[in-house]
Structure 1
Amino acid sequence: MKKTKKYIILSLATCITLSPIAVKADNGSDGKEIIPISAPINKVDQIEDVVMADYIKYEGKITEVNNNGKYLSILVKNDESDPYNGMVFHINEEVILLNDKTKDFITSDTLKKGMTVSGYYDKNTIMTMSLPPQLTPDVIVVKEAEEPGTIHVSKFNEDLISSDGTLKLNVDAETVKIDRNGNQLEKGAIGGKDLIIFYTISTKSIPAQTTPEKIIVMGKDEEVKVEPEITVLDKLIVNEKEITLNKSLYKNEKGVMMLPLRDIAEALEYEIKWNNESKTAELTKGAQWTAITIGEDNYNFAKMLIKLGTAPEVKDSSTYVPFSFLEEVLRVRVEITEKGMIEIGL
C-alpha cells in the first residue's frame, strides 16, 4: 500500500505541475501586462522570405526509355519499389544533355536504362497532374563521374551571384566559357544569364564562392523562330491519331484561336458535364478535374485558379476555350505541325 500511495502522490504532483492554473491578478503596480495572442509580431521576430531556386533538380535511375522515332521520353525513379514514384522527362532538341564525367554534351541516343541522371527544370515549367508527372526539362546530366564535383543550374546576375544568393562565381583564365552550341565566350557574355556551372571547391561563406571549371550559357539562339500557323481548323492529332472535329476552330475578335471544348475534352478522354444554370462545364478524368464558366476568365484546375486572358465563349451553341487552355490548364504537350495542324501529346 505504501508503494501505491507514493505513486498516487507523485502522479498528483505531476498533474499539479503540468496543469494550467488560472490566477486572478491584483490591480496593483506589481501585475504584469497581459499581451493578447492577436498582438502584432515585431518585425525583428518575423522570418525572412526564403528565395526559391530558379531550377528544381530531380535525380534517379532511368527505368524506361520510350522512343517511337519522333518522341523520346525517359522514366526516372528514385524509389523503384513505389509504382507511383518517378518523373517522366520528355526529351526534345531544346533539352541540354550533358555527362558529368566529361563535362561535355552528349546525344539523346546515349540515354540508356539503368543510368543515373539528374534532371533540372525551371520552377515555372508546366507539369502534368498524372502519376508519375510529366514535363520537358531544361537540362539532363548523366552521372558517371567518380571524383567529387558539383553542378549548379541557376540564373546569375551581372555580379555573377546566383538568383537564390547561394553561389558567387570568380571566373579566371582557366574557366571554360561556352554557349549551348559549344562556341567560346568572353567573361562579359555570361552575366545576367541562366548558367550551368561545373565546380569542385567552394568557400564556406555566404554566398559560397568558387572558381568554376566550366560554364555553359543556357540561352537559346537569338534568331527568331517562326512557329507554323494553325491552318487546319477541322482536325487535330492526339497521340499520333488524327481526329475529325464536330465543330471547327476559329479566331475570335481579338485574334485568339478558340477550340471546341467538348471535342477536345472527349479526344483527351475527359468526361464533361454541363450546368446550364451556372453556364459551367466540368471536366474529369480519374483524379484530374477542371472547370470553366462562360464569360469568366477563371479556369480552375486541381484547386488552382488560372487566368488565360481570354474567357470561354459560346458559338453556334457550343462552348469554346482559348488555344492556351491546352498547355496552361490541361497541361498537355502541344505542337503545330508543318501542315498547320494541332498535335497533342499526353
Structure 2
Amino acid sequence: MKKKAILKILTGALCLTLITSTAAFADTGVQAGPVLADGGNDVQEVQQQEQQFVVEEGIIEQITDQGEAYRIQIKNDNMGMIFFVKADLFVFDQASGKQIAVQDLKKDMRLTAILPANAAVTLSIPAQTGHVTAFIVRSDSSSLNVSVYDDSLVNQDNTLKLNLSEKTKVLDTKGSKRLYTAEDIANKTCVVLYTVSTRSIPAQTTPENVILLEEAAPEQAAPAYVSLRAAAEAKGYQVKWTSNEKPIVLTKNDMEIQLTVGSDAFQFTHQTKDLKALDQVEKMDLPVVLQGGQTMVADSFVKDME
C-alpha cells in the first residue's frame, strides 16, 4: 500500500474519532472547563449547619403496652427499629390533621419517628432507642421535610420554600392552642408535611401542616439525694454492701447495677434484649455519698431503675 493511501486512511480515522468524541460530549451535556495551572479544582466550600433531628420511617409491625412505656417496632429496609415511648409522646395523624394518642397507633400504619440527632441508639438488630421527639402517622401520598427554615421560610439545604396559606395548620409538640405565624417558623426546626410542590429551585409548596420542634423545654427540678437501700429495696432489688472501697451491687432478676461511693459512674448489665432506661443514662446526676451511715444516690437515678 502506498504512503498517500495510508495517510488518507489515518486522517479519515482521526476525523471520525474527533467527530464521535464531540457527539458524545454533546449527548451527555459535558462541557470542558478551564484547566488550572496547579491541576486542582476551583471548589467553593459550603459549610452546612449541623442537623438537630433525624428521621426513621417504616411500617408498624408490633405495639406492646409495657405499663410505664409502649414498645413500638417498625419494619423497613434498614432492618427496622424499636422505640420505647411514654403515653404522652406527641403523635400527629396527617390524614385527620389532628394529634392522637400513642395508644391509637395500629399495626401496618406508616410511621415516621423524629429523633434527636444525638439520640442514644443500641447496636442491636433491630436498633432500639427511647429518645423520640415525635411520631408522625403519614398519608401515602405525602412528603415530609425536617429542617431549620430561615426568615424567607427556605429550608437549610435550599430545596424547599414554604408559602403559608390560611389552610396551613401550624402547631407545636406541646399541644398548645397558640396561633402561630410565619415569624414563629423563621429560624426554627420544623416538620413540614406537604403533597404538592413546584419544580423550581428551591421547590415551593403550600404545606398542609408545619410542626415546630424547638419549644422551650420545661425546667426540671434539681436532683436530690435519697437512701439507696430504701429506694432499691422498694423496687425489688437486693443490695449487697461489702465496704466503702468496693462497689455496691444491686441485683434484680437478670439485672445488675454496681455503684461506688464518691463516684457518679455506674455499671448496668442485663440479659434481655429490650432497651431499658438505665441503658441511656451516661452517669448519675450526683455522686454516691455517705450521709449518717446511709448510702445516698440521686433521686433521678432511682427513678430510672426498673
Q: Indicate the SS of the match to 1:342.
A: helix
In the alignment, which residue of structure 1 is the partner of 2:150? 157
* 1:243 to 1:133, Cα distance in 2 relative to 1, 3 A: farther
Equivalences for 1:147-226 in 2 at 5 Å?
A: 148-180=141-173, 181-183=175-177, 184-221=179-216, 223-226=218-221
In the alignment, which residue of structure 2 is the partner of 1:5? none
Deviation at 1:241, TM superposition (A): 4.8
If the length of structure 2 is used for normalisation, what is the TM-score? 0.62
Distance 2:115 2:55 in 1: 7
Say which of 46, 57, 65 aligns to 1:67.
65
* 1:93 to 1:47, Cα distance in 2 relative to 1, 3 A: same
In the alignment, which residue of structure 2 is the partner of 1:342? 302
Return the structure number with greater helix share: 2
Asked whether the equivalents of residues 237 and 344 of structure 1 are also in contact (C-alpha less than 8 Å), the reply is: no
Q: Which runs of 5+ in 2 are unaligned?
A: 1-37, 270-274, 286-296
Q: Which runs of 5+ in 1 are unaligned?
A: 1-39, 250-259, 273-312
Say which of 112, 119, 126 aligns to 1:132.
126
Q: Deviations over 1:208-230 (max 9, x none)?
A: 22222222222345542325534
Once the two structures are aligned, what percentage of the paired residues are identical?
23
Q: Indicate the SS of the match to 1:44.
A: coil
In the alignment, which residue of structure 1 is the partner of 2:100? 106
- Letter in structure 2 aligned against 1:137: V
Q: CA RMSD in A?
A: 4.5
If the length of structure 1 is used for normalisation, what is the TM-score? 0.56
Deviation at 1:109, TM superposition (A): 0.8
Asked whether the equivalents of residues 238 and 250 of structure 2 are also in contact (C-alpha less than 8 Å), the reply is: no
Deviation at 1:321, TM superposition (A): 4.7
Distance 2:189 2:119 in 1: 15
In the alignment, which residue of structure 2 is the partner of 1:19? none
Distance 2:144 2:113 in 1: 11
Equivalences for 1:265-344 in 2 at 5 Å?
A: 268=255, 320-322=263-265, 331-332=279-280, 342-344=302-304
Asked whether the equivalents of residues 74 and 88 of structure 1 are also in contact (C-alpha less than 8 Å), the reply is: yes
Asked whether the equivalents of residues 54 and 116 of structure 2 are also in contact (C-alpha less than 8 Å), the reply is: yes
Distance 2:39 2:232 in 1: 56
Distance 1:50 1:228 in 2: 37
Q: Indicate the SS of the match to 2:132.
A: coil
Q: Indicate the SS of the match to 1:66.
A: strand
Q: Indicate the SS of the match to 2:183.
A: helix
